[in-house]
Amino acid sequence: MILLVTMIVMVWRSLRYSIPGPLGATTLPPPREAPPVSRVSRADFVGAERCASCHADQFAKWAASTHGRAGGPPAADLVIAPFNGKPIRFRDAVVTPRVEAGRYEFVVVRDDDSTEIVRVDGVIGGGHMVGGGTQGFVTKRSDGTMRFVPFDWSRHGNSWFWNTNSRSQRGWVPITETMRLAECGDWPPARVLGDMPRWANCQSCHASQLRVEDSVQGRVTKLTSLAINCESCHGPARRHVELAEAGSLDGKSDVGLASLRTFGKDASINVCSQCHAVKDQLREGFISGDSLELFYSLNMPALGDRPLHADGRVRTFAYQEAHRYSDCYVNGGMTCTSCHDPHSQGYRTVAGEPLPGRFDDRQCTSCHASKAEGVAEHTHHAVTSAGSRCTACHMPSLQAPETTDPRTGRASVRYARADHSISIPRPRADSAIGIVSACAACHTNRSTSQLEASLVAWWGEVKPSGTMGTSRRFAALARDLERVPAPDHALFSPAARSRLDELSHDPDLDVRALALATLHLTEGALPSTRRQLARAAAREGANDFQLRSRWTVALGYMGDRFAEAGDYSGAGIAYGRALEVTPASARLLQSRGNAERSAGDYAAAITSYERALAIEPQSALTMVNLGIALSAIGDSVRGAATLAKAAELDPGEPLAWFNLGNVALLGGNFAVATRHFRAALAIDGSLAQAHFQLARIHLLERDNRAALAELRRGLALDSSNTAARDIARQLGGAFRR
């Protein structure tokens, strides 16, 4: 009898996720695959110079290429921006780029008589891009991270420009004397060089083997080079070098490196997509040589950020990922290296024959041979004219919208990139989504209707824009998910619901995960849907991380969206369902705790934070949030101890010092509070609240002049604080008298 019961239990456990109907499991099976860790370490990399002795030709091409000259330490042969002492003037500051004793630096003098010297520790870019070449700079901050200095140089515009998106929402614009220094969301230097979701970041593209790692001092940026080296594409080469030095390469199929030449089209473009694509992080720790799909999703940015239009062209800001929307890729075999030499970055035919320039038609006609005959009949332009080039119509340069003045439609900063979706000109359709079509870019004196009429007269009705490929299916699903107003709010007709069922079996991971997340959010309380989700999770078998991580990102995004809208209950449900998929996510538990704290449920928030710390005990930010919640329920002793532990664990966490300052201020210890607020600002100078708290201390000490100075510094960063504005106005009036 015991044996029979045991057998029944075993059979039930194996079948409960496959049985249809009411007997099926309504609880998702636990994850089977552990989150990936990097397969390589820094010790596996040898640097580009080790490649030169055996691969001299490729090394020479690389060294002269835009990858080889992508960045490095500041030096006269690399810096194109004018560090000549000529000031960059703002309304409330003067910034002087200069070279002092061989050091490149920006001297920032503000109207409040404060002076800061920002040292340049690295150069990013060299103004190489024809559509708008730029150069940026990075500096090492006190917390150990390398951060972008927010003063960029435009080679074509011969001017300094910066990013105002997160504060004054004007995009990337030239710096003028009417602007305040704090209009730039990246001032003080905030954007991290590396992939850190905790901060605004530029992922891991602007250097080789770039990582931001934890250390005893907090964080530290580690990299091999600010150039893009051989191992960024080929992966770690130590084993290859060891085999070569041992004479063990001849006749061997295993050479210690993956042969990129043998990659299929998807794997090939993923090598380039490490940098030439906007992507969402699934897991920290990626380094060149890892599997891109295990650490990033290329489609997930379409959820929320929407950097691309539905046809793949740039909607906000993007790189060359529109390649994945191209007919030449979707229905053909085109990879990046079909046109670009991977070592020299020069242009070539599909057979690898070098071409003299980017506009040579043989990039296209080496595949589309018939188009080389009767060129004028196809293009309706003179054969020798610029308008007759393949790229003129099918790969026009499109100005990035975030560098365009919305009032005039003109470039604020010249920053145009070739349309890698390789589109067909469609004047009416292009105009409808705000894109200047290839026709309109040249024929500025003709209306959209006139251009469309010419197109139809010449070629007839143009085929629809592309196919319903993976990227488009994902984008359509993303719009559906974003329209969900609250959890368990079904929006779908029977036909649409049936389509979701179909997409939940899609062969593409991103599409499959997003369909499941949509079902989970909108019908996750229904037993029938829960059984469907449980079966879907079980189908992945032992390799389920990639599906679960994407499913979790989508639900977590919706949780963030609800929380930002003040729907903390909806946020809690979304986070809770994401935790059903990935129970051991400290990041999700912290996000749920934040929503619970915002809703006033401090007990639940404390539980969520403590669960997160059980998974990631070294997370200083989670400790900070726990300390705040503990203090809110009156456990000030434990709250202060938790904050102190966070600051000890990560001295580079500004919120630990800021909240310790609040504790000291409440206790009346002004000297300690001041020290902590100053420590927070030294790490993150954009903390307006730290300035306001310092102003409060000065007011209590009856130092009105110092209080006014701090209020002005805080208001420069956050002008929405009405109480601070009113006090500053009163104090300013007093001084004027």
Angstrom distance (rounded) from CA 612 to CA 165: 32
Q: Is the pLDDT of residue 50 over 90?
A: yes
Q: Is the pLDDT of residue 737 over 60?
A: no
Which one is predicted more confidently, 668 or 185?
Answer: 668
In contact, 555 and 588? CB cutoff 8 Å: no
22 closest CA partner among 539, 531, 536, 535:
531
Tokens for 352, please give them. Answer: 């690898």
Instruction: Label residue 11 by pLDDT band (50, 70, 90).
Output: very low
- Amino acid 675 reads R
Place of tokens 């020290």: 675
In contact, 48 and 230? CB cutoff 8 Å: yes
Region of residue 86 (left: phi > 0; alpha: psi -120 to 50; beta: else): beta
Q: Is the pLDDT of residue 670 over 90?
A: yes
User: What is the model's pTM?
Assistant: 0.90
| Residue-wise pLDDT tens digits, 563-584 | 999 999 999 999 999 999 999 9
Angstrom distance (rounded) from CA 460 to CA 464: 12
In contact, 577 and 521? CB cutoff 8 Å: yes
User: Domains in the chain and their CATH numbers?
Assistant: 39-68+228-258 (no CATH), 73-227 (no CATH), 261-369 (no CATH), 655-737 (1.25.40.10)
| Residue-wise pLDDT tens digits, 217-226 | 667 889 999 9
| Residue-wise pLDDT tens digits, 689-702 | 999 999 999 999 99
Q: Which of 112-116, 178-182, 313-317, 496-500 has the lowest mean pLDDT?
A: 112-116
Which residues is 354 bridged to in the sheet?
Answer: 348
Cβ neighbours of residue 566 closer than 8 Å, sequence gap 6 or more: none
| Residue-wise pLDDT tens digits, 247-298 | 888 877 889 998 898 999 999 999 999 999 999 999 988 999 999 999 999 9
Which residues is 118 bridged to in the sheet?
Answer: 106
Instruction: Label residue 491 by pLDDT band (50, 70, 90).
Output: confident
Instruction: Label residue 3 by pLDDT band (50, 70, 90).
Output: low
pLDDT at 9 (0 to 100): 46
- Amino acid 242 reads E
| Residue-wise pLDDT tens digits, 525-576 | 999 999 999 999 999 999 999 999 999 999 999 999 999 999 999 999 999 9
Average confidence score pLDDT of the chain: 91
* Cβ-based burial of 200 (10 A; exposed 0-12, middle 13-18, buried ≥19): middle
pLDDT at 685 (0 to 100): 85
Cα-only R_g, the chain: 28
